[in-house]
């Protein structure tokens, strides 16, 4: 790769996540990238080669690197091929919004690998006010739908990890017992860092539920089941009032982020 190509590569990497990747907010890179003129594709061929006990991405035979200059390598061939597919799909302009897996892997290598405990704590914190612990108090149809989607993962977490979270009716905050939060912490500790933990963090923030994220990470629920569980209330409202076009576009973008994270979790399970 020429000196000019290296410069273009650096500009591109920073357009995705900036010069350092301290945050894992799934939407932040998209918002940041939207403020800039999209760079142009500067490579001809994308490859995958064995590297660092896993598989690395190459551009025109050169190892691709993250914004923090780590080799862009992942633990499985299937994951590497999915990563390469994102890069091969780029035609002219490089749009970070269309590269959710790349952004997640950058976050894993540049942020989670150096600070796994802080990322794990963020996931555990969600259990203190987990989405699926707050149930509808008045509409019985919605309450029944919530129970159908939310009770099974809660039961699983109780059986598998001893997590016993208290439920509330309505939106009033309910304090969870310390033992329940500690059990969530133990469950999170079983998810491998940096890739699994990065993906777990993304799923948790997108769904508002550490419990749903852990059920997905452990193969208890499928991606479609977790997505449906996370959108019970939203889907109920859509059935009643219809879906706004812009809201639908935002949801589709979140689903792309979610699917990338689900793929990573499946690959490291």
Q: pLDDT (tens digit, 9 = 90+) per residue, 66-119?
A: 999 999 999 999 999 999 999 999 888 878 888 999 999 999 999 999 999 999
Domains of the chain: 3-99 (3.30.2180.10), 116-268 (1.10.3580.10)
Q: pLDDT (tens digit, 9 = 90+) per residue, 213-265?
A: 999 999 999 999 999 999 999 999 999 999 888 989 999 999 999 999 999 99
Q: Is 110 exposed, middle or buried (0-12, 13-18, 19+ CB in 10 A)?
A: buried
Band the pLDDT of 8: cuts 50, 70, 90.
very low
Q: pLDDT (tens digit, 9 = 90+) per residue, 195-222?
A: 999 999 999 999 999 999 999 999 999 9
pTM: 0.87
Structure tokens at 238: 């859509």
H helices present in the chain, as ranges: 3-17, 28-34, 77-88, 100-107, 116-126, 140-161, 178-189, 195-207, 210-217, 223-230, 232-241, 245-268
How far apart CA 134 and CA 213 sit, in angstroms, is 17
Band the pLDDT of 24: cuts 50, 70, 90.
low
Q: What is the mean pLDDT of residues 127-142?
A: 97
pLDDT for 11: 36
Instruction: Tell me how far CA of residue 31 lies from CA of 230, 245, 260, in angstroms.
Output: 23, 19, 18
82 contact partners, CB below 8 Å, separation of at least 6 = 101, 263
Please count the other Cβ atoms lying within 10 Å of the Cβ belonging to residue 245: 7
Band the pLDDT of 31: cuts 50, 70, 90.
low
**Of 143 and 92, more confident:** 143
Distance of CA 127 to the CA centre of its chain: 17
Is the model's pLDDT at 13 over the cut of 50?
no
Is the model's pLDDT at 141 over the cut of 90?
yes
Instruction: Tell me how far CA of residue 67 lies from CA of 34, 221, 257, in angstroms.
Output: 18, 34, 19
pLDDT for 123: 98
Instruction: Tell me how far CA of residue 38 lies from CA of 9, 25, 85, 93, 174, in angstroms.
Output: 12, 20, 19, 6, 45
Is the model's pLDDT at 27 over the cut of 90?
no
Structure tokens at 199: 């993906």
Structure tokens at 154: 């809660």
pLDDT for 250: 94
Is the model's pLDDT at 12 over the cut of 70?
no
Report which of 213, 221, 218 is spatially closest to residue 268, judged by C-alpha positions: 218
How far apart CA 208 and CA 205 sit, in angstroms, is 5
């Amino acid at each position: 790769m020429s000196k000019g190509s290296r410069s273009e590569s650096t500009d591109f990497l920073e357009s995705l996540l900036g010069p350092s990747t301290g945050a894992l907010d799934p939407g932040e890179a998209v918002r940041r990238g939207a403020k800039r003129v999209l760079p142009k594709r500067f490579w001809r061929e994308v490859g995958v080669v064995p590297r660092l006990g896993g598989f690395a991405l190459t551009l025109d035979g050169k190892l691709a690197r993250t914004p923090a200059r780590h080799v862009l390598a992942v633990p499985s061939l299937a994951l590497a091929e999915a990563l390469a597919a994102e890069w091969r799909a780029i035609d002219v302009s490089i749009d970070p919004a269309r590269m959710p897996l790349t952004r997640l892997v950058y976050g894993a290598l540049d942020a989670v690998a150096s600070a796994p405990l802080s990322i794990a704590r963020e996931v555990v914190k969600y259990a203190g006010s987990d989405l699926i612990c707050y149930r509808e108090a008045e509409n019985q149809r919605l309450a029944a739908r919530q129970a159908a989607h939310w009770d099974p993962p809660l039961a699983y977490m109780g059986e598998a990890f001893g997590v016993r979270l208290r439920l509330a009716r309505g939106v009033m905050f309910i304090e969870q017992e310390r033992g329940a939060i500690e059990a969530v912490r133990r469950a999170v500790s079983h998810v491998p860092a940096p890739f699994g933990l990065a993906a777990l963090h993304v799923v948790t923030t997108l769904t508002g539920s550490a419990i749903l994220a852990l059920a997905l990470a452990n193969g208890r629920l499928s991606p479609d089941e977790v997505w449906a569980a996370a959108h019970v209330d939203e889907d109920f409202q859509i059935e009643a009032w219809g879906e706004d076009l812009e809201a639908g576009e935002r949801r589709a973008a979140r689903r792309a982020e979610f699917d990338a994270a689900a793929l990573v979790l499946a690959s490291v399970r």
